[in-house]
Amino acid sequence: MCRPNLQIIFLTIFSSVVIIGPDISADDLSLTPELVFTQDSPVLFVSENESDTQDIENVQNTITQCSYSSPECINTCNENCNNGCDNGCRCGCRSCSGSFLLNIDSILGSLITSDHEFDRFIEPVSNPVYFEDPRSRTRLRFLFINQMIPERSILGGGDFQVYGMEATIALSNRLSIIAQKDGYISLQADGLANEDGWADLATGLKYVLIRDVCNQFILSGGAVYEWSNGSSRVFQGNGDGNWSLFLTGGKEFGNFHFITTAGWRIPVDGAQESESIYHSHHLDYALTEKLYALVEYNGILYTESGSRLAVNVEGGDLINLGASNVAGNYFASMAFGSTYKFSKHLECAAAYEIPITGRKDLMDNRITSTISLIY
């Protein structure tokens, strides 16, 4: 296990001066310094076997080869970590190994690099605005949604499409900037003229609170502000924006991965937008190293009504109507789909979603498809 630290430097100097210093040679003592790398730390010991004699140059070469910046160490360490923490590698090679001075190149290199210690997880697909991946990643996700509107809804049936691009930037393996809502909406409602326009933009920060690589458990929290910059023609841009405060976590169980998110959506102007609590849950199974099957559950409980529209339905994750009679309403849906990993830098996913409560609001069914580019 390559895990250089100040102990190695100290032991190297000590072995040079004491064991084979200018006045006492290793031959005189019939002893040889050796480095043994264990899972926890390097240990210097003296061997009585003359056939194992090696000079300090070999010891220093061993240390150099095991420096964190060497490709040999990085490849070996990452391979061991990916195979499990008991294979001679401490959990979180990239983030925990070595000291600050020895890893300055790694720190600079990881400024916008995704945390790849949780690469066996996949990202949730449904509820794309609020179902937040707990990992700190740099990625672009291209999003397409086709949602059918119930015929008995206030819009009289029809459908709408969303073309979006979500972005996250990892500032470290704990802190990231997120932009989870943007794009263009095309609305074809039977009860209204066809319209199209820009969606509101949502931006925020996410911080990893618990990052347990050995047990493949991660917990994050964050805050997102949704700006009221969108087009009113497609039910965007009303009010003065809203805040979303959330917690999201993930855990691996063999080939299964579970991710859950819970949050509170708080409008700045309670008259123009309704207030709600939401929760989403994701379970996937790795059929192969690249192909995953997934099922997801999404729920929204409206806690406060607005007063903008005198209706008793709301728009779910993408639209906030500011309905005047929705407090206490609960909407739930389930999604079924799959994700395919072409590599750790490219993924595609799709899911089919349907309501499972008697209340459908504006969703009869929905298809969501994504393509993610990960750095």
What is the per-residue DSSP string for 102-142?
TTHHHHHHTSS---GGGTT-----SSTTT---SS---EEEE
Phi/psi for 163 (5° steps) reads -115, 110
Is the pLDDT score of 246 beyond 90?
yes
Is the pLDDT score of 1 beyond 50?
no
151-192 confidence digits (pLDDT tens):
999 999 999 999 999 999 999 999 999 999 999 999 999 999
Q: Rounded to an integer, what distance in angstroms lies between the CA atom of residue 167 and that of residue 227?
A: 16
DSSP string computed for 172-207: SSSEEEEEEE--EEEEEETTS--EEEEPPPEEEEEE
Span 265-285, mean pLDDT? Answer: 97
> Within 10 A of 108 (CB to CB), how many other CB atoms are there?
9
Is the pLDDT score of 74 beyond 70?
no
In the three-class reduction of DSSP (H, G, I as helix; E, B as strand; rest coil), residue 73 is classed as: helix
Q: Exposed, middle or buried by CB within 10 Å (0-12, 13-18, 19+), for 167?
A: middle
pLDDT > 90 in the chain, percent:
70
The confidence score (pLDDT) of residue 241 equals 95
Span 342-364, mean pLDDT? Answer: 96
Identify the CA nearest to 243 among candidates 263, 221, 215, 257.
Answer: 263
Is the pLDDT score of 27 beyond 50?
no
Span 313-331, mean pLDDT? Answer: 96
Q: Rounded to an integer, what distance in angstroms lies between the CA atom of residue 93 and that of residue 213?
A: 9
Is the pLDDT score of 219 beyond 80?
yes
Binning pLDDT at 50, 70 and 90, where does residue 111 land? Answer: confident
Is the pLDDT score of 201 beyond 60?
yes
Is the pLDDT score of 357 beyond 60?
yes
In the three-class reduction of DSSP (H, G, I as helix; E, B as strand; rest coil), residue 264 is classed as: strand
The confidence score (pLDDT) of residue 317 equals 95
Q: Rounded to an integer, what distance in angstroms lies between the CA atom of residue 279 and that of residue 14?
A: 57
Span 344-366, mean pLDDT? Answer: 97
Is the pLDDT score of 207 beyond 80?
yes
Identify the CA nearest to 161 among candidates 179, 148, 142.
Answer: 148
Is the pLDDT score of 193 beyond 80?
yes
Span 271-279, mean pLDDT? Answer: 97
Identify the CA nearest to 9 among candidates 89, 99, 91, 77.
Answer: 99
The confidence score (pLDDT) of residue 110 equals 56
N- to C-terminal Cα distance for the chain?
A: 26
Instruction: Dig out the tokens for 216 from the structure.
Output: 């493949």
Binning pLDDT at 50, 70 and 90, where does residue 109 land? Answer: low
The confidence score (pLDDT) of residue 359 equals 94
- List, in order of start, the domains of the chain with CATH numbers: 6-109 (no CATH), 116-374 (2.40.160.40)
| Least confident residue range of 71-85, 209-223, 294-308 | 71-85
Is the pLDDT score of 352 beyond 50?
yes
